[in-house]
Structure 1
């Protein structure tokens, strides 16, 4: 998501590795009960070399890498003849067989004045002219060549990020709390929808069980019992949520029918517990000094998940949950789920009490231990807000947004910060490298997603709306 404020970090903090389980017959300590992410805190692979400027002035890449433009808003065409919509955002990539991939891509369109997703019959949720968001599906070959693009869902609003499912679909998130107004919006918004990539299946049905709020991203756990969801909101700051299935139920290809029921399963908000057992009011109270330290987590039921009269996050007092400025990207692994906080700016009402400003946090929630760890921390660099040229180099980063896990276990982050935007390679507990730089403008990158075979990184430049397929020796640096 685009942000008005910008600031820059200088370097990432590093920490020690997670600790294994205690021996049989002993009572494990909190640290021993919380294995960290499988990655080493320091990479054993080669560091990324300096980026090389692009003679075409679009993307700076490491030596040996190249890009291909897959779609461009207003220029490439859908199979139905309309131009590719604008504001590319969260994206998933699926193996389609026969040397092809399918991308399912959000378009964060929030008004009819933008180049929206055309309302193709059978894909429309809200027929109001103001509901111009949605998703397109793009077929590409193994080199990233565009083989066709079509509409997966339309009539939604401000589709920001989302998450892939184990059964091969995409859950797209509306980052809004807008209600029907009888004119431009005929239905309430702020929901999650399921999107299929086959060009035939479409069920534009809100999954009300997952709540109505400013959704950002989500992840389904490996056991198909839970969905973890982030909220990008302020006044007060947003929350991190968990949806739990009823006992004995497993999510699957037809779950959209049950999830359409607002009362199905349980929706809860996260509380990170301090040493006194009380919720830490905001993630910004924690800093790099707590890097890789596990904190216990409690989950607190949301009273009215459809937010009929009061927003979900406003239904809690600050002593019950843990808030965070800009809960953004979410990505799940077999062991747990990563979630990003983009920043917390000094001198604003979004930074509570004596909390510490920062330029980015990445967290890892461990399913088994039910604990959360800070695994990447970008400290605040206020000096860079005053016009420093460091904002344009490849060492100072800020405001991570979307996140994905590479086939080799490290992280790729899309920067939505000040001046030059980057795509970043980050090792939990270790260093962060720039792997792509936007040379065209200061627009954010969105939707990084690796093909399962690790050959192609797909990523978007939100404005002017371009999808790139980047190929090169990824395994040499990430494997």
Structure 2
């Protein structure tokens, strides 16, 4: 769990800074929706939940779909812990309505509830991470819940593909022989939400072995963009993967392709750029020497005399309009970064080969904006975003309008601390059903998946 921007500012004595942010926040919504944004009041104040699980605005209600430790309806074991990234998919042909969910479990070792190992879906017998898949009817009743992939490690985020599969990302670089592992980790795996056996547990090795965070697919070309959330210097890179079979559908990424890393000439570290609106017109992509990182992690590899461009805490990645957006949640000199910042949003335009800094948060930051910056996000029915806050204290799902107005959408009430020192598990994996009538979101600890319905602004 990372420190929030509010905590960082408090430590640096900047908590009383003026309320401002630099850049065009509305840019991060470009091309994602045509709906009108809501006002600052959102859906109204949160109403305390008498059952002590989830506070929501008046008129909204929730259904608990799944809780860690409960028996899986498939009979494969128990619901795993550490519920993280998630995506929603339309029901399969032949069934009326309904939604399929694929949910990550960020288990490493010694987890409270590991992903059960299932024949044909287990990559490494020593791995405890993976994904589960839920099939819901149109009233959000659970039709089935089962293992979708197992034997992986630290499945954090990922992203959906245009052909309706989920790419789950391992946020680790552990190798065979480390801890209990019998195979190398740090890969992306494709998961079919309708029939996981069709995708199995096959690492997409050409897409690189590193501390993956999230992906986004260009729906026109099939290029896959990838973020790396490395925990120490040199920090992560921003990648693109050029598939041999672009837009080839389920299983096509196994055919391989070229993995490249972004180079911004003269900028070895993106943290040093804090000028929203600045444009780099001559960015290039450099082939990764050894995508499998057989001897050296990719970010340490030799990219030639011009080097490569790094950034701390690269997390969210999503496609909007004709561009890909990615987020650096924060950067700290004390960690080895070249400069401090409290969040950056970047936009890459592949048609123009142009990189633009959209938003930068700093000491003069609006402390009401959620988290470090939008990273675990999804498009909301109002045309804005829903953002999961990750930090200490009360945990919220915030709504963020196109005009930068923030409202609380949900607050977790499951106390994982003590009555004297309460703690609440962070939210993760927020996503909407294809018809935008239901918001699905996970509580990381205790692992709980909610379906939230109500008077959404369509």
TM-score interval (norm. to shorter) = 0.7 to 0.9
Query: In structure 1, what is the equivalent of residue 59 of structure 2?
Result: 64
Query: In structure 2, what is the equivalent of residue 372 of structure 1?
Result: 355
Residues 1:150 and 1:12: Cα distance change in structure 2 (over 3 Å) = farther
User: Whole-Å Cα distance in 2 between the matches of residues 53 and 283 of structure 1?
Assistant: 42
Q: Which moved more, 1:168-177 or 1:326-335?
A: 326-335
Residues 1:7 and 1:13: Cα distance change in structure 2 (over 3 Å) = closer
Query: In structure 1, what is the equivalent of residue 443 of structure 2?
Result: 461
Query: In structure 1, what is the equivalent of residue 406 of structure 2?
Result: 432
The residue correspondences of 1:64-213 to structure 2 (distance < 5 A) are 64-96=59-91, 97-128=95-126, 131-181=127-177, 184-199=180-195, 200-213=197-210
Structure 2 contact 25–402 (Cα < 8 Å) conserved = no
Structure 2 contact 212–229 (Cα < 8 Å) conserved = yes
Q: Which stretches in structure 1 are left out of the alignment for 5+ residues?
A: 20-34, 260-264, 273-277, 385-389
Structure 2 length as normaliser, TM-score? 0.85
Give the secondary-structure state (helix, strand or coil) at the position aligned to 1:225. coil
Query: In structure 2, what is the equivalent of residue 30 of structure 1?
Result: none
Query: In structure 1, what is the equivalent of residue 284 of structure 2?
Result: 298
1:377 offset after TM fit, Å? 4.0
Tell me, yes or no, if structure 1 residue 327 matches structure 2 residue 317.
Answer: no
| Aligned pairs, number | 431
Query: In structure 1, what is the equivalent of residue 387 of structure 2?
Result: 413
Residues 1:186 and 1:45: Cα distance change in structure 2 (over 3 Å) = same
Q: Which moved more, 1:107-116 or 1:6-15?
A: 6-15
Query: In structure 2, what is the equivalent of residue 26 of structure 1?
Result: none
Query: In structure 1, what is the equivalent of residue 329 of structure 2?
Result: 342
Structure 2 contact 190–251 (Cα < 8 Å) conserved = no
Q: Which stretches in structure 2 are left out of the alignment for 5+ residues?
A: 10-14, 415-422
User: Whole-Å Cα distance in 2 between the matches of residues 83 and 186 of structure 1?
Assistant: 23
Cα distance per residue 1:420-469 (max 9 Å; x no partner): 22222234673333322223343221111111111111111101101111
Tell me, yes or no, if structure 1 residue 13 matches structure 2 residue 31.
Answer: no
Pairwise CA RMSD of aligned residues?
Answer: 3.1
Give the secondary-structure state (helix, strand or coil) at the position aligned to 2:292. coil
User: Whole-Å Cα distance in 2 between the matches of residues 148 and 456 of structure 1?
Assistant: 18
Residues 1:410 and 1:299: Cα distance change in structure 2 (over 3 Å) = farther
Structure 1 length as normaliser, TM-score? 0.81
